[in-house]
Amino acid sequence: METKSKNRCFGGVQGVYSHASEACACDMTFGLFLPEIAKDMEVPVLWYLSGLTCTHENAMTKAGAQAWAAEAGVALVFPDTSPRGEGVADDEAYDLGKGAGFYVNATETPWAPHFRMWDYVAEELPALIGQEFSVDMERQAITGHSMGGHGALTLAMSLPGRFRSVSAFAPIANPTQSDWGRKQLGAYLGADETKWAAHDATLLMREKGFDGPVLIDQGGNDQFLHLLKPEALAEAMAAKRQAGSFRTQPGYDHSYFFVSTFMEEHVAFHAEALYA
């Protein structure tokens, strides 16, 4: 692992690190914020998964999460959204290839050799962080925005006992029924739609639900509502009687202005679960 940068931040340290990833067969970069209290004790971990076109840096610099994580005594992990580098397959479209890993393990050509973001986020990166930093991997929570909200929800429901809480900002909620999903799941996983169901938060909510609290925020003026399909997830949560809240925030769009507005509440939501 190589340290790319370290900056003092709200009393703690915002670091950026790179390492050779076995899962993705390339070098990967991630951000990690450690609050000041991590000098004296292991702190719980909140994962933030970013959306389409993003890197590790977008939420790290735009979401305003470090101030609230420092106050709560929580570490923040900002993974990248896809493999990078020479030899990694890409596409001319912004919503496929680099910057659009969709948090799945690709099985199809040309994506399969590198696009294994599920294994990376679920297994490899947690193991590395638990080994190298002062964090308590027995206390984890997860959140994300858009494509990252999709990833947060699907990981949380598919790994029971791993995360104490899950939240999402404007998640891609029903990708098997959306152009933000059918295109990518077909490309990465093939034409057999039965393989897609494991990566659809609405279908997972109907089948499994989550063994902890859920918080969803959706902007009422989001320009991508027709692609996100929040109503499907809201209906699934209600039918499952899922513990948690699905909130529509009037006037807010899909941007980081929306994310940063409600970040304090999301960090507090997770801190309550992590320190319970």
**Contact in structure between 139 and 44 (CB atoms under 8 Å):** yes
- Residue 224 CA from chain centroid, whole number: 18
Cβ atoms < 10 Å from Cβ of 127: 11
> Which one of 80, 95, 217, 222 is the catalytic residue?
222
Spans of all domains in the chain: 2-275
d(CA 169, CA 160): 21
Cβ atoms < 10 Å from Cβ of 208: 13
> Which one of 146, 165, 167, 178 is the catalytic residue?
146
Is the whole-model pTM more than 0.95? Answer: yes
Please state which CATH number belongs to domain 2-275. 3.40.50.1820
Active site residue 254: yes
Active site residue 146: yes
Model confidence pLDDT, tens digit, residues 65-118: 999 999 999 999 999 999 999 999 999 999 999 999 999 999 999 999 999 999
Model confidence pLDDT, tens digit, residues 246-274: 999 999 999 999 999 999 999 999 999 99
Active site residue 95: no
How large is the average pLDDT for residues 177-205?
97
d(CA 202, CA 115): 23
Q: For the chain, what is the largest distance between any 2 Cα atoms, rounded to a whole number of angstroms?
A: 51
> Which one of 114, 150, 254, 266 is the catalytic residue?
254
How would you label 140-177 residue by residue, b for 16+ Cβ within 10 Å and e otherwise? Answer: bbbbbbbbbbbbbbbbbbeeeebbbbbbbbbbbbbbbe
Residue 235's pLDDT band, with cuts at 50, 70 and 90, is very high
What percentage of the chain exceeds 70 in pLDDT? 100
Token pair for residue 165?
């809480």
d(CA 227, CA 237): 19
